[in-house]
Amino acid sequence: MSHNYIVGFPRIGEQRELKKALELYWSGKSTFSEVEDIALSLKARHWNYQKEAGIDFISSNDFSYYDTVLDTAVMLGAIPKRFKGLEAEELYFSMARGNKDAVAMEMTKWFNTNYHYIVPELSLEDSYKLNATKILNEYKEAKALGITTKINLVGPITFLGLSKRVDRGDTYELFGKILPIYEALLEEIAKLDSTITVQIDEPIFVKGVEPKVLSLIKPCYDALCVVSSNINIIVTTYFEHSNEATKVLVHTPVWGIGLDFLHGEKNVESLTLINSSGKKLIAGVVDGRNIWKNDIRKTTQLLETLAKEVDKENIIISSSCSLLHTPFTLKYEEKMDAEIKNWLAYAVEKLDEISLVSKLFWGETLSDTELKALKENKKANENRTNSTRIHNKEVQSRVEKFSKLEREGAYEERIKIQKELLGYKDLATTTIGSFPQTPEVRKARADFKKGAISKEVYEQEMKNYIDECIAFQEACGLEVLVHGEPERNDMVEYFGEQLDGYGFSQNGWVQSYGSRCVKPPFIYGDISRPKPMTVDWMTYAQAKTDKIMKGMLTGPVTILNWSFVRDDMARGDVSKQIAVALSDEIDDLQKAGIKMIQVDEAAFKEGYPLRGENISGYESWAVRDFKISVSTAKQETQIHTHMCYSEFNDIIHTIEAMDADVISIETARSGNELLKIFKEVGYKQEVGPGVYDIHSPRIPSVEEIVTQIKLLLEVLPKEQLWINPDCGLKTRKWEEVKPSLINMVKAVEIVREGL
Ligand code: GLN
Ligand code: ZN
């Protein structure tokens, strides 16, 4: 009997072995066959972890050298023209990363995660051809090690839904061309063994699929299921419920349906249907998106609820999604506080949880180790429920009572006072916050963390850097200055480190894209601010210049979205705690003489729910918490915000409601198109549309920026416009930043003369 299952496993390696191997190879320091060797050993190790934990359905083809959507494009032979002529790994990595002749394919976020996939480029002229090598080989590799795997595939409907067409047409028009390739693939897979399970991921179904897409499900899965009687097909979704699609899938011959019962609670509404269809239910009950230890008692209850509706024999216990989104193993967390560590489970630990939960569900006898694990699980969860490190009554009651939402004065009055007091001109120039993080700055920070240099030495180095930033900004004629953020490794981590309720890992790496990993901090308890976080740096910087020094904070929603968040509290409630802490910071900054403060909300849009019906709920607490953060600002204190994405059309009223005095946004790549929405809705507040793209090392000329500013002036009046780059300059080099900003200031002077 096969009882348990995982959707997929992380591939980067517990010591980020794959990352290191890839980067060596990309820099020309090793050969691809060395990367392949590492990959083989990683796959074997990961399969063995799963086997040893007693997982019945172990995946193959969840491995990738870069991204599984890219792998799917390669499987289909969906290769954009500019890569024609290339082969094998050269082709693959050129698609992912570009080469000297061809730009890389676009990359974007995988649903609401921080994983990024490569966006396939399709064209009506394409003719597709199956390349099944990778998929078949991985199955055989595992088989040679004595492990029979299920094969993971990105489903055809999701593949089309995530692709783009070169001529901007509808990608679903290519359905008829793609489906036969999937059929051919299944024919090849069927030859591998007498019975094989194939997991077809269709997460696009959770977005509340439109009728057009819904109508493809039945023909698609009817066709795929008849390819071979050797194959059991499981269609898997995650991150939300997919009831609309499930209604259709139950009428196809698929063998099983995989659903996420943690992030898609409403999936329970489909249980009766699934039961009468007699299909297997792959029940996602162990969280693949978070780092908390499963509460086995609660999970058992959830499973009992499921078993009331679905025949027990048809239930297979699973992770809620691929474990790709969690860090690898707690084994290397040597420095973490023991109590906190005891609350956590990374991917490897989740395997044991799934195995234990399934044994309990089936009433199997537990070994001594398992009995002990069960006891410890109960204790850890009780401890987490009661720990005073998590629950801070004082914080809770203050946050609950906090009701000041509106800041002093209406915008129209505020801006008059601010303009008079701050005295900036029309088309005022500024930057988004960070200046280049030089190797010296990084080294000083690392040395300080290691204890190799004293706090005094470290702070002096940072101050020297701030001095340099100020000197440059003054010399180049920028009007509103920033301190340059040298003390920040990361815009979320910096604040997390100073807030109570935040934890950090040593090795909690999660793949973000390609070889890149991030190590998000985690919120475990009630959040409060023991002392000011930025006031010393800001007052130091302000004292060094007569110009306005803009304070720099990360907003509550962005702090929340770029952290692992506690699962015992609603996200909006956590965000409110962060907001209250930030409101104190703004109060302190103001008292220390800072007159302008930017509150970055870089991840505001990324936090949007997958399903339309949940959007207004998100927006209401996200806007509330931004407003709480800035509620302490006096009317003469100017509040800026910054968002680094460009599509504002669908959220413009939400942005308006945030009521910031000035917003800087990313628009440089799109002329003035994206700004038009601000005019259309009669947006009153001031706007700083980025006038040049900071993601590229290219230095924009004065003429180019003049043209860009003139375009902006076609849409919004000069009184409403600020002039700034697209985003922070942290990732750029000084050689690029200096001439770019000098040109930006010159361009403004030219435009002003002409007005
Ligand atoms: N203030 C931050 C910086 O300049 C903003 C970064 C961001 O928007 N991602 O680095
Ligand atoms: Zn940005």
pLDDT digits (tens, 9 = 90+) for 431-463: 999 999 999 999 999 999 999 999 999 999 999
pLDDT of residue 665: 94
In this predicted model, what pLDDT tens digit does every residue of 621-637 receive, in sequence order? 999 999 999 999 999 99
614 Cα to the center of ligand 1, angstroms? 28
Q: According to the model, what pLDDT value does residue 669 have?
A: 75
pLDDT at 648: 86
Ligand closest to Cα of 552 equals 1
Q: Is the pLDDT of residue 241 over 90?
A: yes
**Average model confidence (pLDDT) for the chain?**
96
Q: What does CATH list as the number for 410-754?
A: 3.20.20.210
Nearest to 431 by CA among 538, 536, 552: 552
| Ligand 1 atom at minimal distance to the Cα of residue 432 | 4
State the pLDDT at residue 308: 98
Which amino acid residue places its CA nearest to atom 9 of ligand 1? 602
**CA triplet 549, 484, 707: central angle to 5 degrees?**
85
- Rounded to whole angstroms, how far apart are CA atoms 325 and 291? 9
Range with lowest mean pLDDT among 69-83, 269-283, 316-330, 646-660: 646-660
The closest of 671, 735, 678, 675 to 704, measured between CA atoms, is: 671
- Place 29 in a pLDDT band, splitting at 50, 70 and 90: very high
Per-residue pLDDT tens for 641-668? 999 876 788 999 999 999 999 999 988 7
Looking at ligand 1, which atom is closest to the CA of residue 491?
Answer: 2
Residue 337, pLDDT > 90, answer yes
Q: SS3 of 154, please?
A: strand
Closest residue by Cα to atom 1, ligand 1, is 433
Residue of minimum CA distance from atom 8 in ligand 1: 602
- Pick from 194, 250, 164, 192: which is nearest to 61 by CA? 192
- Residue at 202: amino acid letter: E
By alpha-carbon position, which residue is closest to atom 7 of ligand 1? Answer: 602
CB contact set of 140 (below 8 Å; sequence gap of 6+): 192
Per cent of the chain over pLDDT 90 is 93
Question: Helix H segments across 630-673?
Answer: 652-658
Choosing from 432, 490, 512 the residue with most ligand 1 atoms within 8 A of its CB, the one to mutate for a pocket test is 432
Top-level CATH class of 4-327+335-386?
alpha beta
d(CA 41, CA 51): 15
Average pLDDT rounded to a whole number, residues 260-266: 97
The tokens 């600002």 sit on which residue? Answer: 633
Q: Which residues pair with 100 in a beta bridge?
A: none
Pocket flag, ligand 1, residue 624 (CB < 6 Å)? no
pLDDT-derived band at 2 (thresholds 50, 70, 90) equals low
Residues 6+ apart with CB under 8 A from 722: 427, 428, 429, 430, 662, 664, 686, 687, 688
How big is the chain, counted in residues?
755
Shortest-distance ligand to the CA of residue 600: 1
Which atom of ligand 1 is nearest to 598's Cα? 1
- Which protein residue's CA is at the shortest distance from atom 10 of ligand 1? 728
- Which residue is it, tokens 């060596």? 24
Tell me the mean pLDDT in the region 319-343.
97
Question: Looking only at Cα atoms, what is the longest distance across the chain?
Answer: 84
**Both tokens assigned to 346:** 């990374």
Just list the catalytic residues: 695
CA dihedral angle for residue 113, residue 116, residue 117, residue 119, rounded to 10 degrees: 110
CA of 434 to the centre of ligand 1 (A): 6
- Does residue 491 have its Cβ closer than 6 Å to ligand 1? yes
Ligand 2 centre distance from Cα of residue 437 (Å): 15
| pLDDT above 70 (res 698) | yes
pLDDT at residue 418, rounded to an integer: 98
Q: What is the DSSP string of 695-749?
A: TS-PPPPHHHHHHHHHHHHHHS-GGGBEEB-SS--TTS-HHHHHHHHHHHHHHHH
pTM, entire model: 0.92
- pLDDT interval class at 671 (50, 70, 90): confident
Overall average pLDDT of the 358-365 stretch = 95
Q: What is the pLDDT of residue 363?
A: 94
**What pLDDT digit, counting tens, does each position of 603-621 carry?**
998 899 999 999 999 999 9
Nearest to 617 by CA among 678, 570, 566: 570
Kindly report the CA angle at 698 between 697 and 701, in degrees rounded to 5? Answer: 145
| pLDDT attached to residue 646 | 66
Ligand nearest to the CA of 644: 2
Band (pLDDT 50/70/90 cuts) for residue 731 is confident
Rounded mean pLDDT of 715-728?
Answer: 97
The pLDDT assigned to 645 comes to: 73
Q: Where in the chain is the domain with CATH 3.20.20.210?
A: 4-327+335-386, 410-754
Our mutation pick for probing the ligand 1 site, out of 434, 640, 666, counting the most ligand atoms within 8 A of Cβ, is: 434
Tokens for 194, please give them: 């007498």
Please report the DSSP string for 490-511 in residue order: STTHHHHTTSEEEE--SS--EE
> Residue 149's pLDDT is what?
98
